Structure 1
């Protein structure tokens, strides 16, 4: 699916296949942009995700990690070790190495001063790691943002399971879900901006029907 971007906002298009009888998402047809966003969430520290959800008045799931985040906010700084600050715990650095490699909807998590230096030995880019070793990525692999190839259409399940899409896999899934009448399945096109992206983050913390919850309004 294509994505479009203005100077102020990135929009990702997504096509949902909805079972009308149950009013649930069967799966979504997604392009590289949406899959990059989902995979990129694993690169964002939990503290940053919870903080961002709170800043946008979204509950950080039904578990207890939100309470941990709140505890740090309320803790007197004198209880922290001298080399730590509340900010380092509440807003830790992300694992993104460069804004040129980061999915558009996750740009705000990029460190403003990533440690990147040229690698004269392999003609690529070297990224220092916490172990002291380096990882080299050839220049030809750094021209496209994100993680997956853009020439493939991906199937994203309601629980955010991702796999390459094919006609056989689609038919198999419909049979598995016991959907025998194809006419009961309809397409629904949706758009994902930063607000919807945050809602996807929120529901992914406790729901296994994330696409249904966010786009069809099944809220607890």
Structure 2
């Protein structure tokens, strides 16, 4: 069975040094939370599904009592605690991870190869890559900026199951098509 380049992607993340990534297990061994109630986030930073707890108080602003159910009786005025409160969670380690860029540590630039192999980028790795592809003149290299939205993400996912040249097939297909039209 062909899995495209997914084995290469998996292996490259597995082989990343721990100094580059917050937690490999979240990516390599995600915990599934199969429920019919809420959609599962696409690539959650945490393995724990978010639960939203509701808290209630009475309609009097003078009583500082809280309940987790709207049928509780306030000890200060004996009325139902039916006014829903808004809970604001404090920043956590997970929030810090998300603010710091998600799954990776510090400010490190990564290169993603056509087969989705992920590597930390350095001067040495760049020179090695240029040698690997036998690039003699760096002036012939071109920069390509791509827009990456949900459509591209779906194409990338589909192509990752079918191809070993995922980035080329998703982002360079229009260039290939134009070249083919001109050549015919």
Please tell me the TM-score bracket, short chain as reference. Answer: 0.3 to 0.5
* Greater share of residues in strand: 1
Choose between structure 1 and 2 for higher RCO, CA contacts under 8 A separated by at least 6 residues: 1
